[in-house]
Chains A and B, each alone.
Chain A
Amino acid sequence: MKCLLTKLYIIAFMGLVAFFGILIWNLTFAHVIHEYHSRESDVPLHVNGEADKKEPRQQTFDKMILESEDRVKHYLGYRVLEEQRIEGHFHHIGFDVGPDNRSYCRSCHGDMPHDSVKDIRAFLNMHAFFVGCQTCHVKFKEDEITNVYKWYDRKTGEIVESPVNGAPPGTYNAKIIPFIRENGKIVRIDSEEKIQFANDYKAAEPDLSEGQKSKAKKLIHKIISKTPVTCEECHTKQKPTLPLAELGYPKTRIDSITSTEVVGMIKNYTQFHMPKMLNPGEATPPVSPPQQPEAPSVQH
């Protein structure tokens, strides 16, 4: 037994010596050779990445905000502010939110899916940050309606407790997803089957014919309604679509969401400045609105 241990010890130590040998090589001759080669072929010693600049379209919201490689730490003495660094971005972001791993819409539509209506696309994207796509873009059949909405964790996809209370608005690591009634059971709308189907389609896409593709797309988008839930349907005191209280919004936040500030902004500016806010699908040319100095909002 002891003999075996001795042998094992020797073998392990031989491995260690080999490691030391490589280490010493890397610390010494490797430098010289590396320098020599880099000089011969005129390649810079350490090429810093600039590759991501080439294809801006390929950058997703992920790359930019959620998984940005370029991180910076600001040493403020009393605190270290660590955040992503975005080229040319002046204001600080100050927190990290992981990418949404659950949504199967994201793989095609991205994290900033709203683009067609220029005036309000940022608003819609802002909501898409914490509201699942299906919440607005699916109109339920009579027998499907459950009026149950829950939060799911962006990272794990699991249903979680409401993250709203205490967190700064919109900075949640969770999104709202509707639940539907299926065969009498209440299940979340983004079932594993749907996700699997979308994934399978994505994988098989290059091999499909046009007809097959459009058929698959039809199937995936079958549940999508032509007209989405509009702003007013939630930002209203009269039975908003989302059960805000059940989603964990405290009274003050509900008041704020359905406040005259927000609702008023939507209502007032629908006509003048947000002509398409309530009908995002239509592509009518914007009516030139009268000048308005700034949002008539109340200072809190």
Chain B
Amino acid sequence: MRLQSRSRPLGAVIVLVLVIIYLLPAGVLGSDVGNCLLCHKYPGLSRVDENAEMRLLYVNEEIFNNSVHGKVKCEGCHTDITKIPHEPVKPVDCLAVCHIIEPAEEQKFSHKSVEAFLEDSVHGKKDKNGNEKKYSEDMPTCKDCHDNPMFRPLAFVKKVRAGVAEDALGRCRVCHKKEEFIYRFYNHITTRLHKSRSPLNIAQSCARCHDDPKLVARHNLNTRAGFSYGDTYHGKAAKMLDETVPDCLDCHVPKGQSVHQMHGNDDPRATTHPENRGQICSSTDCHPGASVQFANYQVHSEFSKEKSPAVYWFTTFFYILTGGTLLPLMVIMFLDLLRRLFPNATFRRRK
């Protein structure tokens, strides 16, 4: 994978082997009503299934409780597990209506609406006319982009504990008595106040498909997107863990809309459609005042004769200039050293 983190803070190179952090107030453990963790807390709980695929049945409780699904009961998603040993189960349906109550409408919560967005997007399995797309099996489903999302509370100063501002929690406690509610609500809000995944993680997630040469070729894509993004300042800064640079979603999703609504360049609804492209960069948060032609900057240009010939020749010019200047100088240096090593040898002696 091209996009790898390139940030290793000098002081603290963090290697997490066995991570046990006690950042939760007691009593947060609420989702395991069925005591599934009695068994599923053991990391060795695993088997080879009938399709010869490995199944890891382990759930890391501490991490799960810090995920956005921490309050969802196991049975909320694994709906067809009713007995032990479990009978063969269906894959989890992310669009199921679960036991969580959505507070605004007090309805049962579901990710159902994502389905429509996704189906309508460039990643949908069907085209405009409702026909199955070619290679529709390549199109992503929920788990291709999402693992269990972790809370990512804002952490401007606090880098050790979960970015939790004690002061803020103290104010919550005045009215709200339930610690678990305070904690979860705080995390939910502060996670949503910024990117819920770092730009690098987003780019990596997209790159898993969009950098795969086979998929790129099969779907006739212009570029290995993650790769070419990684060559821009944005991508490089993302590798250095800059949180402020745009990732894939910032440019490819219309502001204020679901990230699942992504459209191809030829779709007039797409942000990257030639008609709309000029508006992407000049967003107030990014390059305010930038002109329409600013957006002509080729984010996904590659060093390739076919894809971007101008860039190719321009780069090649500099390669030749650099190599053509330095290599002869290296030769002179080498000969100079050699001359100094054997100062007295010579082919033609004077006199």
Determine the distance from Cα of A297 to Cα of B212 in the docked complex, in whole angstroms: 46
The 8 Å CB contact of A292, one of B83, B304, B306, is B83
Q: Which residue of A lies closest to B199 (CB)?
A: A75
Q: Which residues of B contact A57 (CB under 8 A)?
A: 52
Q: Judge if A64 is at the interface, Cβ distance under 8 Å.
A: yes
Complex: chain B residue closest to A290, CB-CB: B83
Q: State whether B46 touches A78 (Cβ < 8 A).
A: no
The contact of A273 among B52, B55, B64, B83, by CB within 8 Å, is B83
Specify which chain A residues have a CB less than 8 angstroms from the CB of B162 in the assembled complex: 76, 78-79
For B196-224 the 0/1 string (1 means CB < 8 A from A) is 01101100100000011110010000001
B230 CB → nearest A CB, Å? 11
Q: Which of the residues B17, B42, B143 comes within 8 Å of A96, measured between beta carbons?
A: B17
Binds A, one of B100-108, B109-117, B152-160, B173-181: B152-160
Residues of A5-53 contacting chain B, CB below 8 A: 7, 10-11, 13-14, 17-18, 20-21, 24-25, 27-29, 31-32, 35, 39, 44-48, 50
Q: Which residues of B contact A122 (CB under 8 A)?
A: 45-47, 55, 57
The A interface, classified by DSSP as helix, strand, loop or mixed, is loop
B131 at interface, CB cutoff 8 A:
no
Q: Among B122-130, B267-275, B334-342, which stretch is in contact with chain A?
A: B334-342
B140-185: which have CB < 8 Å to A?
Answer: 143-144, 146-148, 150-155, 158-163
Q: How many residues of B contact A (CB 8 A)?
A: 98
How far, in angstroms, from A218 to B163 measured CA to CA in the complex? 59
- Does any Cβ of B come within 8 Å of A125's Cβ? yes
Q: Is the CB of B16 within 8 A of A81?
A: yes
Judge whether B46 and A82 touch: CB under 8 Å.
Answer: no
Q: Which residues of A contact B (CB under 8 A)?
A: 7, 10-11, 13-14, 17-18, 20-21, 24-25, 27-29, 31-32, 35, 39, 44-48, 50, 56-57, 59, 61, 64-65, 70, 72-82, 85-86, 88-97, 112, 114-115, 119-123, 125-130, 166-171, 173, 261-262, 265, 269, 273-274, 289, 291-295, 297-299
Q: List 15 A-B contacts (CB under 8 A).
A: A10-B341, A24-B323, A24-B327, A28-B319, A35-B303, A45-B213, A76-B152, A76-B162, A79-B21, A93-B60, A94-B60, A96-B17, A112-B54, A115-B48, A297-B34
Extra 20 A-B pairs, beta carbons < 8 Å, given A27-B322, A44-B213, A95-B16: A20-B330, A39-B305, A39-B306, A44-B217, A72-B201, A78-B153, A78-B160, A78-B162, A79-B162, A91-B59, A91-B64, A92-B150, A112-B54, A126-B39, A129-B42, A168-B61, A171-B18, A293-B82, A293-B83, A294-B84
A-contacting residues of B (Cβ < 8 Å)? 1-2, 5, 14-21, 33-36, 38-39, 41-48, 51-64, 67, 75, 81-85, 92, 143-144, 146-148, 150-155, 158-163, 197-198, 200-201, 204, 211-214, 217, 224, 227, 241, 303-306, 312, 315-316, 319-320, 322-323, 326-327, 330-331, 333-334, 337-338, 340-341
